[in-house]
Amino acid sequence: MTHEIIIEAGRAERHYWRDLWHYRELFRVLAWRDVAVRYKQTVIGATWALIRPFLTMVVFTLIFGKLANLPSEGTTPYAIMVFAGMLPWTFFSSALADASNSVVGSANLISKVYFPRMIVPMAAAGVAFVDFAINFIMLVVLMIWYQFVPGWQILFLPAFTVLALLAGLGPGLWLTALNVKYRDVRYIIPFLVQLGLYASPVGYSSSIVPERWRLLYSLNPVVGVIDGFRWCILGGQSQIYLPGFLLSIGVTAFFLWLGIRQFRKMENSFADLI
Amino acid sequence: MSDIVVSVENLSKRYLIGHQSAQRKSDTTLRDAIGREARNFVRKAADLLHGKQIIQGDEVEELWALRDVSFEVKQGEVVGIIGRNGAGKSTLLKVLSRITEPTDGRVRLRGRVSSLLEVGTGFHPELTGRENVYLNGAILGMSRKEIARKFDEIVAFAEIEKFLDTSVKRYSSGMYVRLAFAVAAHLEPDIMVVDEVLAVGDYEFQQKCLGKMQDVAKNEGHTVLLVSHNLNIIGSFANRALLLDRGSLVACGGVREAISAYLSRGSLDPIYVAPQADISSSPHVSRAEVVTSEPNGVHQFGEPLELRIMISHEQPALKACLTLQILNQDRSPVLMTYAYYPDKRFGEKPGRSQLTCRFPNPRLNVGRHYLRVFLSEPPGGIEYDRLECVCPFEVVRTNDTVLWGWRPDHCAYHDDWSWAIANETCSSSEMNLRLPKQMAAVRTVRDTDTKDTGH
């Protein structure tokens, strides 16, 4: 009962993160709603979550692996190498894109109820995680098909999953806040995601990038994430380029800081701008 | 510890709104339009660089939705907030519920706040009733345990047991609103902020919700801030009222005082004067007035009411008959009277006549009323003049309190009444035998209700 709230212009919430934790129920419910609604009134339901990445994987394997004849990592089948890259990429890109549109898409909630606004993009990222989990099953099937046994490195996969999430959420939060104010962002995101698909080592191995460009290439935070995933899944057949990897982590951390800062700065005015 | 749970100091909220400049309206050529678009683009780009908000239109105006508002609310109080459209009521609620940030000033809230600014916020049409209860509950700040605990109660309250696992998009609008209300009515915050939400939905159900909310406020000492345009709800539900006018607090205190202050700012003009252009020499009504007990066309129920009609007749009428009807808000007549007496003639000689009709104890229901005036020869004769829906006036009944106050759609008129009630007590075994039958009867009635309101 002694819980006191003070509302003032420009006042930052003192217990922001505690408040956010307090609303974890809402996070769960919003994420669950989006998952539950997604495949209602479809015939094959959640299978769609499997079909999309599967077809992309087939296309990439044919174009990069067969037509362009790019090398795989060691002796790994090209399909598995592509899928090990697709997995974090899809997670990253859908977390980024869905989070960016999430606040604008929940205008009715934002203008009628209070809750820490960060719940909304986080729930969108949560939905992306569910898709990621479904895709992971696809990877397991693929590994059984090729009779591919991963090494001990796979134990580190959860850490890289978190890294992929943070890499998506950082710029995602920033774009979310910007999108509320300037709707131009909505049109930029699909373009960014499409470009990123080719600028990141999804369809090919990052080892084909010339050595002197590697560091510059690693400015793309997804490069570190994908390399990490390949290292885990392909069991050391793919090597992590350490300076680049650290740089990727640094960039991710920077975007996360920027995203949270910008989001918190703007979230109090969302209801007025939306 | 003081028992003040809401304390608002010098609260202000400014919005920026854009207009089209006068010049823009005169820009008609393509060249003008291109020039204007180019200027707009440059301005928007500059806004973007400075991180400012984009405002449509080329003139920006400041609008103070709230200006220097201060008040305090004690624990357990039910405070009604009244004011005309655009007075800042909803903005105040939005600031109090932390949806939007004030421009200036400060608010202190002690306790958990729940806001109900809309019924069914976040309801998803694809989800079932059951799923939506959990979704909506979580959005309104209830924990899953709390919802699970109250779930049966909520469903019983909404009376939609049968459709619990049907998508909400298949619901009738009545069912949808009932379910949404039911969730909201089971919130148990320390401070509850409620907007005009009770204006929708079927009437019986609204009363049920108000009753539930009042129980919660009374029994558990919760504080309620309520916005409504229905003065009768405010009058009977609130124990204090705030009156806002163009963003400023103009009255704060007793409900009756605030309501009469609100009504006295009204713009009803219960006087009709014939327009100059219409004046002819044939008999016509040149002025009509409803003399109400309060200023600005507000009439307190039970007070005497007077209707004054001035008739001009430069050309005399052989026989004149004046008929008056009082119409209610639906424009249906609720009362009729006429003046045609052998001993009280008028209009037989050139000149003017003033006719006054007095109702010592009018029993009109609350709400907006109008006058319809006929001036004619007796039935079958010439019609001289006819006025439709003139002299609007508002009947209120705030000097005696009934449980929920009166509403315009309750009835057409009030009458004196008395009740005789004989209670018969019976043993509990008899009770048990009787109950199922009675409940079954109630149930069928409710089912037919559902059908009626659903369409």
Could you list the mean pLDDT of each consecutive 10-residue stretch along chain B, which spans 455 residues?
A: 82 82 63 78 78 72 88 89 86 90 89 82 87 90 88 88 89 84 82 75 72 76 83 78 89 81 73 73 86 86 91 80 88 88 81 91 89 84 85 82 67 87 73 46 41 40
Report pLDDT for B133: 92
pLDDT at A161 over 50: yes
Report pLDDT for B348: 80
Between vectors from CA B241 to CA B237 and to CA B244, what angle results, nearest 5°?
130
Burial class (CB in 10 A: 0-12, 13-18, 19+), A211: exposed
State the pLDDT confidence band at A149, using cuts at 50, 70 and 90.
confident
Distance of alpha carbon A197 from the chain centroid: 12
Instruction: Quote the CA–CA distance of A207 and A238 in Å, as a whole number.
Output: 9
Least confident of A22-26, A43-47, B197-201: B197-201
Cβ-defined contact of A5 to B95 (cutoff 8 Å): no
Report pLDDT for B401: 58
Instruction: Give the closest-approach CA distance of B38 to chain A in angstroms.
Output: 17
Report pLDDT for B278: 61
CA separation, residue A201 to residues A64, A205, A230, B132 (Å): 11, 6, 10, 42
Q: Quick check: helix, strand or coil at residue B389?
A: strand
Report pLDDT for B266: 64
Cβ-defined contact of B138 to A7 (cutoff 8 Å): no
DSSP 8-state class, residue A194: H
**What would the pLDDT profile of A103-114 be if each residue is shown by its tens digit?**
998 888 888 888
pLDDT at A167 over 50: yes
- Listed in sequence order, the DSSP H helices in B50-112 are 89-96
Q: Quick check: helix, strand or coil at residue B64?
A: strand
**What would the pLDDT profile of A220-267 be if each residue is shown by its tens digit?**
999 999 999 999 988 777 778 888 889 999 999 999 999 999 998 888
For testing contact with chain A, the best of B53, B68, B101, B197 (most A CBs within 10 A): B101
Report pLDDT for B342: 76
A147 vs B: CB within 8 A: no
Q: Which of B94, B105, B106 is the closest to A271 by Cβ?
A: B94
Report pLDDT for B25: 57
Q: Which of B53, B98, B138 is the closest to A29 by Cβ?
A: B138
pLDDT at A183 over 70: yes
A26 contact residues in B (CB cutoff 8 A):
138-139
Structure tokens of A34?
């989006």
Instruction: Quote the CA–CA distance of B167 and B449 in Å, as a whole number.
Output: 21
pLDDT at A196 over 70: yes
Instruction: Give the closest-approach CA distance of A33 to chain B in angstroms.
Output: 8
- For the segment A13-38, the average pLDDT, to the nearest whole number, is 85
Report pLDDT for B62: 83
The pLDDT mean for chain A works out to: 87
| Beta-carbon count within 10 A of A231 CB | 23
Between vectors from CA A7 to CA A6 and to CA A11, what angle results, nearest 5°?
100
Query: Which residues have a Cβ under 8 Å from the Cβ of B18 and sit 6 or more positions away?
Result: B55, B56, B57, B58, B59, B60, B61
Q: In what order do the strands lie in the sheet with B298-300?
A: B298-300, B383-396, B367-376, B321-327, B333-339
**What would the pLDDT profile of A197-227 be if each residue is shown by its tens digit?**
888 998 888 888 888 888 888 889 999 999 9
Nearest CA in chain A to B147: A25
- For the segment A37-45, the average pLDDT, to the nearest whole number, is 80
